Amino acid sequence: MTVSLGGLRIVVSAGPTFEDIDPVRFIGNRSSGKMGFAIAAAAARRGADVLLVAGPVALPTPGGVQRVDVRSAAQMREAVLAALPADVYIGAAAVADFTPRFPATHKLKKSAGGDAMLLDLVRTPDILAQVATQARRPRLVVGFAAETQDLARSARGKLHDKRVDMIVANQVGVAGSGFEADDNALTVFDADGSHALGAGPKTQLAERLLDLVHARLQRAGAAPAPNPTIPGPTQA
Ligand code: C5P
């Protein structure tokens, strides 16, 4: 049975951010956006009002989802904060941690600095932490953690440091799973401990994550009652 999320407003961020160095070069990462898009699609199928803030990705907009395209972390922050208030925020985007302090307005010449080049970088705003600590805080704030080592410890650290309700952790660097892949293996960390969502297609893991989101909201008295009339997801 698929539980309904009708009546809930859910904001999802997905994909990478690109931080411009000059008009032709940028700092990016390997996020495909597939996990966040799968979550947005599944939430819309369950009747939620979904706003998807998407970094630069090559994915079609899921049915019933409202989409805002952004490029940089600063733009993503602006779009996410403008989308509030919401009942749930799911930060699935791989936001760049650093951005060039002074992006060049003209293409940088490789001859200008000799054999080496130093980039002056500054931290980007932590969108997830800002959403979780502001006055219009969604009832449920969910973050992601992609790690190559010490998964549980890092996830618990982020849960605490960013003041979020759930951290969805995945091990990256595993062949066929994580960044760019269609499959993933996820564990959710929250105040109660950890819940393994298992491994499988991102479309299926998105459904399991939304079941947890629904259960958590219901416990807090904020979720619609289960609605057995919603058809199950079509498998990708
Ligand atoms: O600290 P780290 O980047 O590993 O945390 C990952 C989580 O924080 C993800 O949910 C990501 O969307 C969010 N994040 C953010 N803004 C940043 C960095 C990360 O919202 N500048």
- Domain boundaries defined on the chain: 2-98+123-221
Rounded Cα distance between 153 and 155, Å, is 5
pLDDT at 222: 64
Rounded Cα distance between 109 and 118, Å, is 13
Are 9 and 224 in contact by the 8 Å Cβ rule? The answer is no
Nearest atom in ligand 1 to 13's CA: 12
Superfamily of domain 2-98+123-221: CoaB-like (3.40.50.10300)
Q: Hey, how many other C-beta atoms are within 10 angstroms of the C-beta on 176? A: 11
Rounded Cα distance between 32 and 150, Å, is 23
Question: 5 in ligand 1 pocket by Cβ < 6 Å?
Answer: no
Question: 91 in ligand 1 pocket by Cβ < 6 Å?
Answer: yes
Cα 202 to averaged position of ligand 1 atoms, centre (Å): 19
Taking CA atoms, 103 is separated from 43, 118, 184, in Å, by 37, 13, 35
Full pLDDT tens readout for the chain, 236 residues: 789 999 999 999 999 999 999 999 999 999 999 999 999 999 999 999 999 999 999 999 999 999 999 999 999 999 999 999 999 999 999 999 999 999 999 999 887 778 888 999 999 999 999 999 999 999 999 999 988 889 899 999 999 999 999 999 987 766 666 677 888 899 999 999 999 999 999 999 999 999 999 999 998 876 666 554 455 554 33
Radius of gyration of the chain (CA): 18
Question: With left for phi above 0 and alpha for psi between -120 and 50, is residue 29 left, alpha or beta?
Answer: beta
Are 151 and 187 in contact by the 8 Å Cβ rule? The answer is yes
Cα 209 to averaged position of ligand 1 atoms, centre (Å): 18
What is the SS3 assignment for 49? strand
pLDDT at 183: 87
Catalytic residues: 29
Rounded Cα distance between 92 and 14, Å, is 5
Q: Which pTM does this prediction carry?
A: 0.92
